[in-house]
C-alpha cells in the first residue's frame, strides 16, 4: 500500500490545467449553465405541482443544494473517467510522466487536486447563482464548498482506481448505468430518500452522493442532517481514504510491468 | 569514477506472469550481462520479441527486474527509481506525445515533470527545437506532424532534463529512409558531444552507424557482443556473394555450389556465399554454368552475423 509521501503532484495538475485552457468553454456549459437551467426548469415546472408545505420550503429551494452536489459529483466522476483511461491507453500521458521522477501516486494525487479545482469552482459558481436567486441567504452556505470537496474526493478516488484497471471505455457505460445514474436519481437530490422503499433507500444511504447532498442542504438551507454533519463527513472521509489507497495501488500496478 | 559503468547488469532476468488461467510464465530477458560506460554509444540489436524493450524498461526503472543484479548510475532501481529517472532521458518505442499540446508545450510541460522551472524550460525547449530542426513548428499542434518529426520531438523531449544517459527504443522504426537519416544525423551529433546513448534496433545499418559497441540479442539472451567491426570480423567473412536464380529449388542449387567460399546460406529468395573474395567466387559460379539471374558482391554486415548466430534474418 502506498501512503503518500509529499513529492510533487503539481506538474500533473499543471498538465491538466494546460489541457483545460483548450476546452474550458464547453465545460462552462455542461458543469454550470446546464445545471442552472435544470434547476430553474424543474423548480418551476415540478415545483408548481408540489405543495410548499410538504417539504417545508419551495421545491426549487429543496433541489438547489442537491443539484449543486450532484453536479460536482458528475464533474468529479467524469474527470476521473475518460481522461484517466486515455492517459494510460490512448494519449499515454502517464507513461510519459513515468519516465520522469514522478511516481504513480504523484499522478493520482495530481488528478485529485485537479478534480478538486473543477468540482470546487463549479460549486462556487452555482452558489453565486443561488445567492442571486435568493435561495441562499446566510454566509454559512460557504461551508458548501468544503462539503463539495469532500464529496468530490470520496467519489473520484474509486473511479480513478476503476479507470486505472479497465482496458476499454465500454466499462464506463457499466459504471454509469449501475452506479452514477441510480445514485443521481435516488440519493436525495430530487426527493427525500425517506420516500424510497427499504432496499433502494439503503442503497442511497450507502452512496457518497446522499451524504454530500445532506451536507450541502444543511449548509445552504440550515436543515437538520440525518446523522449529524460529523457523521456524514466521516462517512465521506472513509470513502476518500479507501478510494485513495485503491487508486494509488491501481496506478502503480498499471504503470509497473 | 569515470570508469564506473552507468549501467551494470549481471544475470538480469525479466519474467512476465502467465496471462489467463492456462497461460504460462514467460521469460522475456533470460540472464544478460551488460556494462555501459560514460560516453559510449551502446546498442541492443535483435529481432522482434528479442527482449530489447523489456531490457530498456528495466534500465529505465519502470519495470522491476525478476532476477539478477542491476545498477543504474551506481544506484538501485528498486530503491532509487525517482532519483535515477531524474537523470535519464527516455525515447520510448511507443509514442507518448500529447496531441492536444503544441510542439513547444510538449517540451515545457514535460520539463515540469522533472521540476525544471518554467523559464529554464522555455529556453531549453527553444534550444532543443533548434537542435532537432523543428523551430518553425514550435507553436503548431503535434497531431499533423509527420512520423519523423514526432520522433525528433520525442528525442528533444528526452533531452530536456540534460540527462546523463539517453535511452532510445527503436528510434527510427517505421520512418522512411530520409527521415531515418535525419534522426541518425542528430543522434550522431549527440554522440559527438559525449552524451551516453543506449539504443535498441533491428536495423543492422543503424547499429553499424551509431553504436561503438553492441550486443546481439535473440530470445532474451545475448548471443554476441563487440564493436560492429569486430563482430563482423569474428563471425563472418570479408565479403558476401548474393545469388538469385529463376529456378526456385534453391536447395538443389546450393548443392551444386558446394565448395565455393567458406559457407553457404540458403534464404527463401536468394543464396548467400560467404567468402573473402567475392569476385573470385562469382567466377567459379560462372565456370560451373549455374546461370544466376543476379549476382551481387557486397561486404559482410551485422545482418550476416545475426544469420550465422541464429540461423534467421533480422527483419522479415
Ligand atoms: N507486459 C508484458 N506481459 C507479457 N509479456 C510481455 C510483456 N511485455 C513484453 N512481453 C513479451 O516479451 C517478449 C519480449 O518483448 P520485448 O518488447 O522486450 O521485445 P523487443 O525486442 O522490444 O521486440 P520489438 O522489436 O517487437 O519491440 C515478447 O514476446 C513480448 O510478447
Ligand atoms: Mg521493443
State the ipTM, two decimals: 0.91
- Decide: B174 in ligand 1 pocket, CB within 6 A: no
pLDDT at site A5 = 55
B98 → chain A, closest CA residue? A91
What are the respective helix, strand and coil percentages of chain B, to the nearest 5?
A: 35, 25, 40
- A2 within domain boundaries: no
DSSP line for B255-268:
HHTTTSSSEEEE-S
Query: What does the block give as the cell for B96?
Result: 507518448
- A21 within domain boundaries: no
pLDDT at site B1 = 47
For residues A7 and B186, the model is more confident at: B186
Contact B96 A91 (CB under 8 A): yes
B261 dihedral zone (left: phi>0; alpha: psi -120 to 50; beta): left
Tens digit of each residue's pLDDT (9 = 90 or more) over B197-220: 999 998 888 999 899 999 999 999
What average pLDDT is seen over chain B?
Answer: 93
In this prediction the pTM is 0.92
* Domain range enclosing A128: 10-14+30-256
When divided into structural domains, chain A yields a total of 1
Of all atoms in ligand 1, which is nearest to the CA of residue B93? 27
Q: How confident is the model at residue B2 (pLDDT cuts 50, 70, 90)?
A: low
- A3 within domain boundaries: no
Across the range B281-289, mean pLDDT stands at: 89
> In chain B, what are the domains?
7-231 (3.40.50.300), 237-299 (3.30.70.980)
B26 touches chain A (CB under 8 A): no
Return residues 73-102 of A near B (CB < 8 Å).
Answer: 91-93, 95-102
pLDDT at site B315 = 66
- CB contacts, 8 Å: B95 with chain A: 92
Nearest CA among A157, A179, A175 for reference residue A166: A175
Beta-bridge partners for B274: B240, B263
The CA distance from B76 to B73, in Å, is: 8
Of all atoms in ligand 1, which is nearest to the CA of residue A257? 1
* Best mutation site among B54, B171, B198, B219 for ligand 1 pocket (most ligand atoms within 8 Å of CB): B54
- Decide: B197 in ligand 1 pocket, CB within 6 A: no
A16 → chain B, closest CA residue? B109
Classified as helix, coil or strand, B157 is helix
CA atoms within 13 A on the CB side of B252: 6
For residues B103 and B252, the model is more confident at: B103
- CA gyration radius, chain A: 19
pLDDT at site A1 = 42
Nearest CA among A187, A229, A181 for reference residue A204: A187
Per-residue pLDDT tens, chain A, 257 aa: give them: 445 555 789 999 999 999 999 999 888 888 778 888 888 888 888 888 887 877 888 888 899 999 999 999 999 999 999 999 999 999 999 999 999 999 999 999 999 999 999 999 999 999 998 998 888 888 889 999 999 999 999 999 999 999 999 999 999 999 999 999 988 888 988 889 888 998 889 889 999 999 999 999 999 988 888 888 999 999 999 999 999 999 999 999 999 98
The CA distance from B183 to B37, in Å, is: 23
Handedness of CA B86, B184, B124, B39 (dihedral sign): positive
Contact A257 B82 (CB under 8 A): no
DSSP line for chain A:
---------HHHHHHHHHHHHHHHHHHHIIIIIHHHHHHHHHHHHGGGTS-HHHHTS-HHHHHHHHHHHHHHHHHHHHHHSHHHHHHHHTS-HHHHHHTSS--HHHHHHHHHHHHHHHHHHHHHHHHHHHHHTTS--SGGGGGHHHHHHHHHHHHHHHHHHHHTT-SSTHHHHHHIIIIIHHHHHHSSSSS-GGGS-HHHHHHHHHSHHHHHHHHHHHHHH-PPPSS-HHHHHHHHHHHHHHHHHHHHHHHHHHT--
CB B120 within 8 A of CB B76: no
- A4 within domain boundaries: no
- A50 within domain boundaries: yes
pLDDT at site B29 = 97
CA B170 to ligand 2 centroid distance, Å = 7
pLDDT at site B10 = 98
Contact A11 B85 (CB under 8 A): no
Across the interface, of A8, A12, A93, the residue whose CB is closest to B96 is A93
**Is residue B194's pLDDT more than 50?**
yes
Min Cα–Cα distance to chain B from A244, Å: 21
Tens digit of each residue's pLDDT (9 = 90 or more) over B63-110: 999 999 999 999 999 999 999 999 999 999 998 999 999 999 999 999
Q: What residues contact B13, with CB distance under 8 A and at least 6 apart?
A: B27, B29, B30, B31, B65, B66, B67, B68
pLDDT at site A87 = 97
Q: What residues contact A150, with CB distance under 8 A and at least 6 apart?
A: A212, A215, A233, A236, A237, A240
Across the interface, of A18, A92, A102, the residue whose CB is closest to B113 is A102
- A152 within domain boundaries: yes
- A41 within domain boundaries: yes
DSSP line for B271-312:
EEEEES-HHHHHHHHHHTT---SEEEEEE--HHHHHHHHHSS
Contact B161 A257 (CB under 8 A): no
A255 touches chain B (CB under 8 A): yes
- CB contacts, 8 Å: A93 with chain B: 96, 98
- A24 within domain boundaries: no
Long-range CB pairs of A188-191, under 8 A, 24+ apart, other chains included: A188/A66, A188/A213, A188/A214, A189/A63, A189/A66, A189/A67, A189/A69, A189/A70, A189/A213, A190/A42, A190/A63, A190/A66
pLDDT at site A3 = 52
Amino acid at each position: 500500500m502506498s501512503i503518500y509521501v509529499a513529492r510533487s503532484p503539481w506538474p500533473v495538475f499543471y498538465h491538466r490545467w494546460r489541457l483545460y485552457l483548450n476546452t474550458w468553454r464547453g465545460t462552462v456549459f455542461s458543469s454550470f449553465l446546464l445545471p442552472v437551467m435544470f434547476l430553474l426548469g424543474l423548480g418551476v415546472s415540478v415545483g408548481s405541482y408540489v405543495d410548499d408545505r410538504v417539504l417545508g420550503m419551495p421545491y426549487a429551494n429543496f433541489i438547489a443544494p442537491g443539484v449543486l452536489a450532484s453536479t460536482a459529483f458528475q464533474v468529479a466522476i467524469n474527470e476521473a473517467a475518460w481522461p484517466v483511461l486515455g492517459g494510460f491507453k490512448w494519449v499515454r500521458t502517464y507513461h510519459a510522466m513515468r519516465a520522469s521522477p514522478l511516481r504513480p501516486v504523484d499522478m493520482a494525487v495530481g488528478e485529485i487536486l485537479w478534480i478538486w479545482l473543477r468540482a470546487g469552482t463549479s460549486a462556487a459558481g452555482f452558489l453565486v447563482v443561488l445567492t442571486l436567486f435568493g435561495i441562499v441567504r446566510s454566509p454559512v452556505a460557504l461551508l458548501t464548498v468544503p462539503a463539495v470537496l469532500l464529496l468530490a474526493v470520496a467519489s473520484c478516488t474509486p473511479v480513478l482506481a476503476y479507470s486505472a484497471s479497465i482496458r476499454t471505455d465500454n466499462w464506463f457505460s457499466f459504471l454509469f448505468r449501475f452506479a452514477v445514474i441510480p445514485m443521481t436519481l435516488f440519493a436525495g437530490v430530487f426527493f427525500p430518500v425517506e420516500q424510497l422503499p427499504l432496499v433502494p433507500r439503503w442503497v442511497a444511504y450507502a452512496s457518497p452522493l446522499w451524504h454530500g447532498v445532506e451536507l450541502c442542504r444543511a449548509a445552504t438551507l440550515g436543515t437538520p442532517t440525518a446523522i449529524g454533519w460529523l457523521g456524514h463527513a466521516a462517512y465521506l472521509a472513509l470513502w476518500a481514504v479507501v478510494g485513495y489507497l485503491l487508486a494509488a495501488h491501481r496506478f502503480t500496478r498499471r504503470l509497473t510491468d | 569514477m569515470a570508469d564506473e559503468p552507468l549501467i551494470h547488469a549481471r544475470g538480469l532476468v525479466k519474467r512476465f506472469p502467465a496471462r489467463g488461467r492456462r497461460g504460462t510464465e514467460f521469460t522475456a530477458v533470460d540472464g544478460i550481462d551488460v556494462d555501459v560506460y560514460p560516453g559510449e554509444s551502446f546498442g541492443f540489436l535483435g529481432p522482434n520479441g528479442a527482449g530489447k524493450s523489456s531490457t530498456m524498461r528495466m534500465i529505465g526503472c519502470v519495470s522491476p527486474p525478476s532476477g539478477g543484479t542491476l545498477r543504474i548510475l551506481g544506484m538501485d532501481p528498486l530503491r532509487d527509481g525517482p532519483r535515477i529517472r531524474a537523470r535519464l532521458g527516455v525515447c520510448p518505442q511507443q509514442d507518448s506525445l500529447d496531441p492536444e499540446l503544441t510542439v513547444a508545450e510538449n517540451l515545457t510541460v514535460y520539463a515540469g515533470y522533472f521540476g525544471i522551472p518554467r523559464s529554464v524550460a522555455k529556453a531549453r525547449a527553444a534550444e532543443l527545437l533548434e537542435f532537432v530542426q523543428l523551430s518553425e513548428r514550435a507553436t503548431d499542434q503535434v497531431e499533423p506532424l509527420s512520423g519523423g518529426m514526432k520522433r525528433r520531438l520525442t528525442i528533444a523531449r528526452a533531452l530536456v532534463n540534460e540527462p546523463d544517459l539517453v535511452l532510445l527504443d527503436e528510434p527510427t522504426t517505421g520512418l522512411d529512409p530520409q527521415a531515418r537519416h535525419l534522426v541518425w544525423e542528430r543522434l550522431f551529433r549527440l554522440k559527438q558531444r559525449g552524451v551516453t546513448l543506449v539504443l535498441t534496433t533491428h536495423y543492422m545499418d543503424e547499429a553499424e552507424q551509431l553504436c561503438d559497441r553492441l550486443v546481439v540479442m535473440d530470445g532474451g539472451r545475448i548471443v554476441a557482443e563487440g564493436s560492429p567491426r569486430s563482430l563482423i570480423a569474428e563471425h563472418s567473412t570479408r565479403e558476401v556473394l548474393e545469388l538469385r536464380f529463376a529456378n526456385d529449388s534453391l536447395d538443389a542449387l546450393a548443392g551444386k555450389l558446394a565448395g565455393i567460399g567458406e559457407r553457404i546460406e540458403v534464404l527463401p529468395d536468394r543464396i548467400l556465399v560467404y567468402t573473402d573474395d567475392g569476385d573470385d567466387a562469382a567466377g567459379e559460379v560462372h565456370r560451373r554454368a549455374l546461370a544466376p539471374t543476379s549476382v551481387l558482391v557486397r561486404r559482410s554486415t551485422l545482418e550476416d552475423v545475426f544469420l550465422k548466430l541464429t540461423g534467421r534474418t533480422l527483419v522479415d
